[in-house]
Amino acid sequence: MKPYQSPATWRGDELAQRPDWRTTLSASDCAEIDRALHSVNQRSIALEDITQDDFPLPRLAAELRSIQESLEHGSGSFLLRGWPTARYSLEDNQRVFWGLSRHLGTPISQSAQGEKIFHVQDAGYKTNDAKARGPNTRKSLHFHCDRCDVIGFMCIRSAKTGGDSYLVSSIAVHNEILLRRPDLLEQLYQSWYYKTHNVDLANDDPWCRQPIFAIQDGRFVGYILRVLIDRAYELPELPDMTPLQREALDFLDAVCAEEELNIKFRQEPGDMLFVNNFVNFHSRSEFEDHDDPEKKRLLLRIWLSVPNSRPLPAEFAGSFGRTDAGEIRGGLHPSSLTS
């Protein structure tokens, strides 16, 4: 264990000053996207059948390749602003988001139903409803990762108040814990039990094991989804979480939440955010929604497997399937139980 340095090692508002963090689409960029949208609509191509070639972007394609490179070898996150969502239907906005994302990677399933574009909105589930997922509530979320190389969000409508996004460099968090509590960092390098998610219906395994921090072939890997860790250690067939393990998780949460380490921002309609899950953790604040259903907060979410991804430790096979660099991996497999 030693400090890890890379372009993805940033602290707080340092990220906002970086050229590899965000850009705003110009009028000519939006016109180019609109022409690509018109092309797929004219040919009546189904959303999930749209390929990179079907969504031609003569000038923007180079910009998207640069974003793809930055996600893996730069800051690890990118905010693309300026798409005029209000001018388009929800279906067309989904097609735009999909088309742009296809220039970055391959969309993978996010549910037992095989959804590849997921609607992040408050679904009104009651507390402890087995169907509830964090994205379908209005509550705040722990800093966490999703089961993909890169996660993308397109904001269609923002909340009345709250719902702010947070990012933190998991490498910076790793280095801070090493500096202040190396004994706890040692725990985070160990294998942790993860309970299979209650919506992962096609997975017969009740749990898997993987570390929170690792170095694989010289590349940093950070991954955390605490809710599944906590659920696993409540299972009677698994050992109880030790006090030191719990302290390590609590300290990790506390460091992630420190204002000098994370960056807070609000996704406005038209903003598209892409995050490398292995070098950044993300979270969201609680929000108050509008009463009008047509104004309620709505983000589109996509999970991408990217061709320039890093290798993962072998233990990640339990949740990601394949672990070699550049392989299509991650996601939730569709289940026949939902048909």
pLDDT in tens, 307-316: 999 999 999 9
Decide if 138 contacts 296 (C-beta within 8 A): no
Confidence band of 197 (pLDDT split at 50, 70, 90): confident
pLDDT higher than 50, residue 132: yes
- How distant, in Å, are the alpha carbons of 9, 12, 90, 246, 292 from that of 179? 15, 17, 47, 19, 49
* DSSP state for residue 49 in the 8-state scheme: G
Asked if residue 286 is part of any domain, the answer here is: yes
pLDDT higher than 80, residue 200: no
- How distant, in Å, are the alpha carbons of 108, 131, 224, 282 from that of 256? 28, 28, 11, 9
- Tell me the pLDDT tens digit for each residue of 43-98: 999 999 999 999 999 999 999 999 999 999 999 999 999 999 999 999 999 999 99
Q: What is the CATH number of the domain that holds 160?
A: 3.60.130.10
Asked if residue 13 is part of any domain, the answer here is: no
Task: List the domain range (segments joined by +) for residue 76.
Answer: 22-338
Residue 33 CA to residue 169 CA, distance in Å, equals 31
- How distant, in Å, are the alpha carbons of 51, 244, 251 from that of 109? 16, 35, 32
Asked if residue 8 is part of any domain, the answer here is: no
Mean pLDDT over residues 159-176, rounded? Answer: 95
Asked if residue 175 is part of any domain, the answer here is: yes
Q: What is the dihedral of CA 85, 66, 149, 117, to 10 degrees?
A: 20
Asked if residue 64 is part of any domain, the answer here is: yes
Asked if residue 3 is part of any domain, the answer here is: no
Other Cβ atoms closer than 10 A to 294: 7
Structural domain count, the chain: 1
Confidence band of 201 (pLDDT split at 50, 70, 90): low
Asked if residue 17 is part of any domain, the answer here is: no
Asked if residue 31 is part of any domain, the answer here is: yes
